Structure 1
Amino acid sequence: MPARQDSVSIPMTRSNSYWQRIFNKYDKDNDGKISYIELKAIIDSREYEDDLPPNVVQKIMNLADRDNSGYLDFNEFVEMMHNPDLKNIFGHFVARYVHSIIPQRNPVDTTAQPRSTTIFTYTDGTYEEQYTCWPPAVCMIFISIVEIALFCYDASKGKTDANGPIAQIFIYNPHKRHQAWRFLTYMLVHVGVVHLLVNLLVQLFLGVPLEMVHRWWRVTLVYLAGVAAGSLATSLTDPHVYLAGASGGVYALIAAHIATIIMNWKEMEFAVVQLLVFLLLAGVDVGTAVYDRYWRNMNQNIGYVAHLAGAVAGLLVGIGVLRNLEKRKWEKRLWWAAVVLYVSLMIAGILANIFWTSRFP
């Protein structure tokens, strides 16, 4: 193939090794070139949302094939993937949503080349290597489906206020504290449709993107840590209160996003704004519950302690288990402090619930 006169030499940085893997994946015949058929396979694959007609695929090929060879070499492939005219094709709505609320890497100019040929790399891999749509993020979706199914079953019995047959088994009942599963399973039952919908919306719109970056097991740990902390703290501060709903886990997810912002402060766009938004939402909700209970004397039975404890657990566990895009010395110390503090609080809460018998009904 004739040498290109206007091609850009692309050094094999770590970010380019990512594109090399993609290139190799679709170079089915291993000839070092992407043909029209192979390009169409890329566009039609599950990574991309739009199923484009053949004439549009041909136009993309013509636009990307700078030397009119009928094939795309690796340099042409990388330039095509970064072409601003093609971003709507090689990006999808899920990726845009995830990028908007998960920290992105700051590009570092690694050359002194002219602006048009500047190569960008990253200090710890590209963000595209951090999240994935496959395998799909299903943990929060599965939990949400279970919550909906259990609510619908009780609703079919005419019980929607956490007083149905399922709710009676799973709700946190202070008089049945010896049934230890209730400290977790109360998250599966809800008091009314609004209570259910609010929790579903938050845990899906925050939990699913977290799973796509940090993997399902890390997000599940954060979620369950918030649920457990919520029930343990409530049992100690409000020993006569019943608990229902996933608010402890939901607040853990909100706080986990705050943990992500803290641990990736320099890598995150609009970090201050996002931090203030999450803190404002949590503060308004907890503050309203406290005000209604102690100043307006409204008996709403809102477990605000579960909200607050879930948020603290989500923050500490989030710092401990969620992936950190770039580790610094102070972050390592913060990691140890978060892990030790969470473990200490949980041990204290469990021991108090076991041995402080005079505190409970």
Structure 2
Amino acid sequence: MPSGQRETSVSMPLTPTDLYWRRIFNKYDRDNDGRISYVELKGIIESREYDQDLPDNVVDKIMVLADSDNSGYLDFAEFVAMMHNPDLKAVFGHFVARYIHSIIPHRNPIDTTGQTWTGFRAVPTTTDGDGTYEEEYSCWPPAICMILISLVEIVLFCYDAAQGNTQANGPIAQIFIYNPHKRQEAWRFVTYMLVHVGVVHLLVNLLVQLFLGVPLEMVHRWWRVTLVYLAGVAAGSLATSLADPKVYLAGASGGVYALIAAHVATIIMNWAEMEFAIVQLLVFLLLAGVDVGTAVYDRYWRHLDQHIGYVAHLAGAVAGLLVGIGVLRNLEKRKWEKRLWWAAVVLYFALMIAGILANIFWTARFK
């Protein structure tokens, strides 16, 4: 072979086991160049998802043994061979086995022979489903966006509470709450999420946005979840101002319902890759339906004045579903999902533009 020329391999169809290794390979091919460098290999071994480091000389030995063409990189074929090489197993087999199990905590992949690959050995299994989505949970980068938003909400509430104001009537609340008489102060359409009416209102929103938002961040990263959350907050205030133009609005319920709907969007877009997708979908729909249904029933049939902004809940959920389909990660794209993506994006922007224009020009509604 001429010097500098890379060896090529025959293209073969990928088996389910190959797809399993491909997912791991792609996850740590950070620059997406189809090769794993020395630095990327060391990143696998020293991953934050893996609690033990290996000395540099061990990493060097692994690279020398695995890099069959001495290119300084591992292509996919070399990566798979590395995972099954008995010499490499002698060097760090138990480390790789522990690592593989650490990033796939729920189940092991199944090949066409009905066997599960645990490290380097195949054993029979009867596990059904895929669970690829669960493999994507990662603690790095840290999921801190929802935590930071929650801390800001706590600090602002405590500031007003220290002055004896816990019912959204303190100095901070007066600046940030959505006030229908100060609609020209546009920031209020978003900052009302930082204001809460009482401790229970605050705690409920904190619990939901942390328990739903943090897992979403671990898979989809903070900026996507932030877009979903803020989209729900903005949609909630725009819709409420049109449906109930005299209502003051406080609380993060629009964003919280956006997170709930975003989980539904994730289930829809990653149905085949998720464990217990139908169960998760039914649970989220049931919880949201009961909450909104109870609020509507209490207001229009029992005529209770509970000040629950169910319009913000509904609008936040719609925004969360549409934006979630648009921005959250889709692990395996299908043709119908591309059409769904375009439909969600177009519908979201159409609704938001209509809501903004109505709030600006429909002045008779707010007199």
TM-score after normalising by structure 1: 0.75
Q: What do the CA deviations read for 1:195-238 (whole angstroms, capped 9, x no partner)? A: 00000000001101111111111000000000000000000010
Q: 2:304 is paired with a residue of what secondary structure?
A: coil
1:336 pairs with 2:338: no
- Runs of 4+ in structure 1 over 4 Å off: 69-72, 110-116, 124-129
The partner residue of 1:14 within 22, 30, 44 is 22
The partner residue of 1:32 within 61, 67, 73 is 61
1: distance between equivalents of 2:136 and 2:218? 8
**How many pairs align?**
301
1:73 pairs with 2:91: yes
Q: Shift in Å at residue 126 of structure 1?
A: 6.2
Contact 2:132 2:274 in 1 (8 A): no
2: distance between equivalents of 1:144 and 1:246? 10
In structure 2, the residue matched to 1:320 is 326
2: distance between equivalents of 1:127 and 1:273? 15
The partner residue of 2:248 within 233, 242, 261 is 242
In structure 1, the residue matched to 2:111 is 109
Map 1:36-185 onto structure 2 (within 5 A).
Answer: 72-73=90-91, 75-81=93-99, 90=102, 107=109, 109=111, 116-117=121-122, 130-185=136-191
Q: Shift in Å at residue 266 of structure 1?
A: 1.1
Q: 2:211 is paired with a residue of what secondary structure?
A: helix
Gaps of 5+ in 2: 1-16, 29-35, 48-53, 64-85
Q: What do the CA deviations read for 1:220-267 (whole angstroms, capped 9, x no partner)? A: 000000000000000001001100000000000000000000001111
In structure 1, the residue matched to 2:14 is none
Please tell me the root mean square deviation across aligned C-alpha atoms, in Å: 3.3
Q: What do the CA deviations read for 1:174-215 (whole angstroms, capped 9, x no partner)? A: 010000000000000000000000000000011011111111
2: distance between equivalents of 1:172 and 1:221? 20
Gaps of 5+ in 1: 1-9, 35-66
Distance change >3 Å, CA 290–CA 127, structure 1 → 2: closer
In structure 2, the residue matched to 1:50 is none
2: distance between equivalents of 1:31 and 1:356? 69
Q: 2:197 is paired with a residue of what secondary structure?
A: coil
User: Percent identity of the aligned residues?
Assistant: 75
Contact 1:226 1:314 in 2 (8 A): yes
In structure 2, the residue matched to 1:6 is none
Q: Shift in Å at residue 346 of structure 1?
A: 0.1
Contact 2:326 2:341 in 1 (8 A): yes
Q: 1:311 is paired with a residue of what secondary structure?
A: helix
2: distance between equivalents of 1:205 and 1:176? 33
TM-score after normalising by structure 2: 0.74
**Amino acid paired to 1:261:** I
In structure 2, the residue matched to 1:357 is 363
1:281 pairs with 2:278: no
2: distance between equivalents of 1:16 and 1:339? 31
Distance change >3 Å, CA 350–CA 117, structure 1 → 2: same
In structure 1, the residue matched to 2:316 is 310
Q: Shift in Å at residue 73 of structure 1?
A: 2.7
Contact 1:111 1:118 in 2 (8 A): no
Distance change >3 Å, CA 119–CA 229, structure 1 → 2: farther
Contact 1:186 1:244 in 2 (8 A): yes
Q: 2:272 is paired with a residue of what secondary structure?
A: coil
Distance change >3 Å, CA 210–CA 113, structure 1 → 2: closer
Q: Shift in Å at residue 109 of structure 1?
A: 1.6
2: distance between equivalents of 1:269 and 1:251? 22
Distance change >3 Å, CA 107–CA 114, structure 1 → 2: closer
Contact 2:116 2:124 in 1 (8 A): no
Bigger drift between 226-235 and 73-82 goes to 73-82
Contact 2:133 2:273 in 1 (8 A): no
2: distance between equivalents of 1:70 and 1:183? 59
**Amino acid paired to 1:32:** K
Q: 1:206 is paired with a residue of what secondary structure?
A: helix
Q: Shift in Å at residue 134 of structure 1?
A: 2.0
Q: 1:301 is paired with a residue of what secondary structure?
A: coil
Distance change >3 Å, CA 264–CA 112, structure 1 → 2: closer
Q: 1:117 is paired with a residue of what secondary structure?
A: strand
1:270 pairs with 2:288: no
1:224 pairs with 2:226: no
In structure 2, the residue matched to 1:63 is none
